[in-house]
Amino acid sequence: MKKKILLMVFAFGALTFVACNDANKKEDSAETEQMEAERQAQMQAEKEKMEFESNSIAAKAADTDSLSSLNDALQSAEMNELLTVSEGPYTVFAPDNAAFSKVDKATLDTLMKPENREKFAGLLEYHVVEDKITAEDLAKKIDGDDGEYTIATLNGGELKATKEGDNIVLTDEMGNKATIVKTDIEASNGIIHIIDAVVMPKSEDTEI
């Protein structure tokens, strides 16, 4: 009788051990699966982040030969990161190298000094709109506003967009004009239109 009881106790203990062991294995397996899922999600997020940044406005400017001066300017004014990681969307009216060559070199060199970074950033922000506006959108807005559309820029200034023949022209607050010479360069956080002049806000702080 005692042997039977001992056998029963032993058997029950063995079953309990097996059951507990199975439960622990299932728990460990669930934790492993969760950790793997989290790792995969993190890898996917990192991949999407890298793809976003590699197709950002800043990246497109860096990859466009005619915008190398703008790329240097963005880095000097510490705006490169904004146009790399920020989702925006933004529209950038990007002066090409020829446009920057029209600016007095000594003045441009002065603006690119660290102590003038804030002033230079204000000038560059005048070329940025906190919205995505394609060339077609801009043309429609001009037509819908009796031939002149006012654009609010990132630095708080305004640009006037009009048409001259088939071209879209921007008039800055100083009365200077810039023609859009290339449109709709798509980026992950907006769009770029290349212009043939540096536009100027009406401010002593950013005037060059």
pLDDT of 82-95, one tens digit each? Answer: 999 999 899 999 99
Q: Is residue 28 part of a domain?
A: no
Q: What is the DSSP letter of 115?
A: G
Q: Is residue 97 part of a domain?
A: yes
Q: Is the dihedral of CA 166, 171, 176, 181 positive or negative?
A: negative
- Model confidence at 154, in pLDDT bands (50, 70, 90)? very high
Rounded Cα distance, 117 and 133, in Å: 27
User: In percent, how much of the chain has pLDDT > 90?
Assistant: 59
Model pLDDT, residue 205: 47
Q: Is residue 36 part of a domain?
A: no
* Cis preceding-peptide flag for 89 (omega within 30 of 0): yes
User: In percent, how much of the chain has pLDDT > 70?
Assistant: 83
- What's the domain range around 145? 55-195
Q: Is residue 80 part of a domain?
A: yes
Q: What pTM was computed for the model?
A: 0.78
Q: Is residue 128 part of a domain?
A: yes
Report CA-CA distances (Å) from 103 to 64, 97, 108, 110: 20, 10, 7, 12
Q: Is residue 184 part of a domain?
A: yes
Mean pLDDT of 22-39: 71
Q: How many CB atoms lie within 10 A of CB 22?
A: 10
Asked whether the beta carbons of 111 and 153 are under 8 A apart, the reply is no
Model pLDDT, residue 1: 58
For residue 78, the domain's CATH number is 2.30.180.10
Number of domains in the chain: 1
Model pLDDT, residue 207: 47
Closest by CA to 73, choosing from 65, 62, 86, is 62
Q: How many CB atoms lie within 10 A of CB 100?
A: 18
- Average of per-residue pLDDT values in the chain: 85
For residue 5, pLDDT over 60 is answered with no
Rounded Cα distance, 192 and 178, in Å: 14
Mean pLDDT of 61-66: 94
Q: Is residue 48 part of a domain?
A: no
